[in-house]
């Protein structure tokens, strides 16, 4: 196999070292793949907008002549610059709690902030002593320790995860900066970004003893406890038990909010809902100490929801929204026309490349894919022209009543929960005279309906067992 690397930097403000950084990344990839080291094609201080770049033209000619089999590019120019900075001991990422950034003219280096470092030591000492991250967060709040984001401490800021994000798992506190450990990836379907681990071979590890806040003995003790906790979780999974987390499984999970701090009201023990901020951060995070039985929430709130919705006004709103939804189902022809225009333009560009003599199997395959997209877009436009939404709502009243009355009898809890979310939105629970008042700021199918429910029995002061 014959490999080649194309590297470029775009301006005089960048450095020749950028070429070396890009080539090092490509060579590292070839080594992992078992491929031979690549021949180098390069352009220095030339914009990517120019098509007359000598190195660019040379590598195109090499591809067309069959001189190389695989062309590799490291297009993460930002990555390569950060790589060099990290190797030189400079900051190449975010600023962890306990440090500040100081410029020396060549870059930014981290220095210890002692007012924060003492709380880092406190957290590590307490964790080594067997205290949970949740309890440590409550203790830090009780001692008015400044938090990383300025609000109350949460256990998630401390938890020693594999990505090194939590304070108790970040090796910088033991004098080792690790960069390039993770990468953010955007899911093309959901649009959400996820943080994924990179292979260890891509990590950049720099010893920085001047940044050490936690000595080796304390670090080893905490690391050992974290490994033990992970083994316990793995064993629970092996036995079919949940170590914690997972999908919400109760009817009102995700729908309840604390009226004091605005945070979520969640299952805090086997039978009760309570304020998540209070559970995670103690009384300094939220003063709402009440918790309520899950059965009370489901019975009393659901009864109030049904009573509020099963009336003529509720049905009319349901009917009106159904009609709006049916109208919105008509596809937008302008979007389809733009899609067809883009597909035709792409097809024309490929045809122009073929006429210019750039004929490769990849270009031919891309042309076939583009032709298919053109046909699909044309058919979509024809379908839109034929679309006629129904103006009738047969059995609308019966469907609506059935939808509301079956909320508490649907076997699939997740389906019932999403139906509730559509009907009522979120429910705010606010302490009043020793009980929680539930206020429903209705949304979705329920329109502007509002109900205030006092659940009465079933509320208790919360004791989260910190």
Model confidence over 284-315: pLDDT tens digits?
888 888 888 888 877 777 777 777 667 677 67
Residue 447 has pLDDT above 50, yes or no: no
Sign for the CA dihedral angle at 178, 180, 181, 182 comes to positive
CA 370 to chain centre: 32
pLDDT of 391 strictly over 60: no
Stretch (H or E) spanning 267: strand 265-267
Q: Which of 437, 434, 464, 429 shows the shortest CA–CA distance to 264?
A: 429
The residue count for the chain = 466
The predicted structure's pLDDT at residue 394? 60
Q: What is the pLDDT of residue 236?
A: 58
Q: Which helix (H) or strand (E) holds 103?
A: strand 99-103
Residue 221 is predicted with a pLDDT of: 92
Place of tokens 């990849």: 362
Q: At a CB cut-off of 8 Å and minimum separation 6, what does 352 contact?
A: none
Q: How confident is the model at residue 116 (pLDDT cuts 50, 70, 90)?
A: very high
Question: If you average pLDDT over each of 6-15, 146-155, 361-370, which comes out highest?
Answer: 146-155
CA separation for the pair 50, 70 (Å, rounded): 23
pLDDT tens digits, 204-245: 788 889 999 999 999 999 988 888 887 776 665 555 454 454
What is the helix (H) or strand (E) element at residue 84, kind and residue range? helix 77-87
CB burial class (10 A; 0-12, 13-18, 19+) of residue 94? exposed
Residue 339 above 70 pLDDT?
A: yes
Evaluate whether 279 touches 464 at the Cβ level (below 8 Å).
yes
Residue 393 banded pLDDT, cuts 50, 70, 90: low
pLDDT of 23: 85
Separation of first and last alpha carbons in the chain: 61
Q: Write down the pLDDT at residue 11.
A: 65
Q: Which helix (H) or strand (E) holds 99?
A: strand 99-103
- Per-residue confidence (pLDDT) for residue 465, from 0 to 100: 32
Interval 75-106: pLDDT, tens:
544 344 555 566 666 776 678 999 998 888 77
What pLDDT, on the 0 to 100 scale, is given for residue 48?
60
- Tell me how far CA of residue 161 lies from CA of 157, 170, 200, 211, 230, in angstroms: 10, 9, 16, 21, 9
Instruction: Tell me: pLDDT of 448 over 50.
Output: no
Contact 1, 36 (CB under 8 A): yes
Q: Are 261 and 430 within 8 A, CB to CB?
A: no
Task: Extract the tokens encoding 445.
Answer: 């199918």
For 306, left (φ over 0), alpha (ψ -120 to 50), or beta? alpha
Question: Does the pLDDT value for residue 428 go beyond 90?
Answer: no
Task: Note the pLDDT of residue 97.
Answer: 94
Specify the pLDDT at position 459.
44
| Per-residue pLDDT at 409 exceeds 70 | no
Mean pLDDT of 157-164: 76
371 vs 410, which has greater pLDDT? Answer: 371
pTM for the full model?
Answer: 0.47
Which pLDDT value is given to residue 444? 42
Selected residue with higher pLDDT from 184 and 224:
224
Range among 186-200, 242-256, 369-383 rated most confident: 369-383
For 182-199, what is the mean pLDDT?
Answer: 73
pLDDT for 87 equals 61
Percent of the chain with pLDDT over 90: 11
Q: Does an H or E element contain 361, and which?
A: helix 361-386
Residue 92, CA distances (Å) to 67, 96, 169, 264, 286 in order: 38, 12, 19, 35, 36
Give residue 452's pLDDT: 39
Higher pLDDT, 209 or 331: 209
Structure tokens at 93: 């990422």
- Is the pLDDT confidence value at 135 over 80? yes
Per-residue pLDDT at 121 exceeds 90:
yes
Name the CA radius of gyration of the chain, rounded. Answer: 30
DSSP state at residue 214: S
């Amino acid at each position: 196999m014959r490999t080649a690397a194309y590297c470029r930097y775009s301006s005089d403000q960048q450095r020749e070292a950028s070429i070396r950084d890009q080539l090092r990344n490509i060579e590292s990839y070839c080594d992992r793949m078992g491929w031979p080291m690549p021949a180098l094609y390069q352009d220095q201080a030339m914009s990517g907008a120019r098509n007359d770049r000598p190195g660019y033209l040379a590598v195109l000619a090499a591809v067309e002549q069959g001189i190389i089999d695989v062309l590799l590019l490291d297009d993460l120019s930002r990555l390569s610059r950060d790589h060099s900075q990290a190797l030189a001991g400079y900051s190449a990422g975010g600023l962890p709690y306990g440090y500040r950034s100081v410029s020396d003219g060549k870059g930014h280096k981290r220095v210890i902030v002692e007012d924060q470092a003492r709380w880092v030591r406190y957290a590590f000492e307490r964790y080594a002593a067997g205290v949970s991250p949740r309890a440590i967060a409550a203790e830090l709040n009780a001692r008015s320790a400044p938090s990383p984001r300025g609000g109350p401490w949460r256990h998630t800021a401390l938890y020693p995860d594999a990505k090194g994000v939590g304070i108790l798992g970040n090796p910088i506190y033991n004098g080792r900066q690790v960069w390039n450990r993770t990468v953010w990836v955007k899911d093309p379907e959901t649009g959400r970004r996820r943080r994924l681990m990179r292979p260890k071979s891509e990590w950049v590890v720099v010893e920085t003893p001047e940044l050490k806040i936690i000595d080796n003995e304390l670090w080893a003790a905490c690391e050992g406890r974290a490994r033990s906790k992970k083994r316990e979780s793995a064993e629970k999974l092996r036995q079919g038990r949940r170590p914690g987390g997972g999908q919400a499984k109760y009817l009102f999970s995700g729908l309840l909010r604390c009226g004091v701090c605005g945070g979520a009201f969640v299952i805090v023990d086997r039978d009760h809902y309570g304020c998540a901020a209070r559970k995670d951060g103690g009384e300094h995070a939220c003063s709402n100490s009440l918790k309520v039985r899950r059965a009370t929430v489901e019975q009393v709130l659901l009864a109030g929801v049904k009573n509020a919705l099963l009336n003529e006004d509720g049905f009319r709103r349901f009917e009106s929204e159904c009609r709006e939804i049916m109208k919105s189902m008509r596809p937008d022809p302008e979007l389809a026309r733009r899609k067809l225009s883009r597909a035709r333009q792409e097809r024309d560009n490929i045809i122009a490349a073929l006429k210019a003599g750039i004929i490769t199997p990849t270009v031919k395959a891309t042309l076939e894919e583009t032709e298919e997209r053109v046909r699909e877009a044309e058919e979509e436009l024809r379908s839109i022209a034929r679309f006629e939404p129904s103006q009738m709502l047969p059995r609308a009243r019966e469907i609506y009543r059935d939808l509301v009355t079956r909320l508490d009898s649907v076997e699939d809890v997740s389906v019932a929960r999403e139906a509730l979310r559509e009907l009522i939105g979120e429910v705010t629970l606010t302490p009043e005279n020793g009980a929680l008042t539930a206020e429903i700021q209705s949304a979705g199918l329920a329109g502007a309906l509002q109900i205030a429910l006092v659940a009465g029995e079933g509320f208790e002061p919360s004791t989260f067992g910190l």
